[in-house]
Amino acid sequence: MIVLGIDPGFTITGFSIVCKIQGKDTVLDCGYLSLPAKKTLDIRIGIFFNFFMEKIKKFQITDISIETPFLGKNVQSFLKLGYLRGVLYLLANQNDLQLHEFSPREVKRAVTGFGGAQKEQVAQVLFMLFPKLPKPKKEDVTDAIAISLCGLWQQKRSNFL
């Protein structure tokens, strides 16, 4: 099982690819995709699609994990986020991948044991789990690592049921 975790955003999208190697959770790749603000919507969505299609092929992804969106004050941002989520559903369908969704509280609870944890607390736990992991430049990357681990750990839990 190789999980691609994505924290989608129309400006910055964090991603992480995790799997188990010899029984140990391992981060194979992580980083962020910066979508050019001056490009049109269709160009940005195309960049997003191509970037993640390449990751899926390169790493032989089996599962995609995403966080359910939070509707804040900006409805336009929420709608644009929906476009990116639609692309992720399409990628999952076209590549026969399982798609998992987690609420922000589920992600925080899975990583820290507390659904109301702050982002800094989630990051602290992740750096304890992966001490050799360089500190990401964007918190979207840390979020994506946590999201991808949720997908990996959910599969492990469901194997016991």
CB 100 within 8 A of CB 66: yes
**Which of 44, 36, 33, 39 lies closest to 8 in space, CA to CA?**
33
Q: Is 101 a catalytic residue?
A: no
CB 129 within 8 A of CB 25: yes
Catalytic residue among 63, 67, 96, 139: 67
The strand pairing partners of 18, in sequence order, are 3, 27
Catalytic residue among 7, 63, 96, 106: 7
Q: Is 42 a catalytic residue?
A: no
Q: Are strands 12-21 and 24-34 parallel, antiparallel or unpaired?
A: antiparallel
**Which of 14, 7, 25 lies closest to 126 in space, CA to CA?**
25
| 61 DSSP assignment | -
Instruction: For residue 39, report the phi and psi dihedrals to the nearest 5 degrees.
Output: -85, 155
Q: Which residues contact 103 (CB under 8 A, 6 or more apart)?
A: 67, 68
Q: Is 63 a catalytic residue?
A: no
Residues acting as catalytic residues: 7, 67, 140
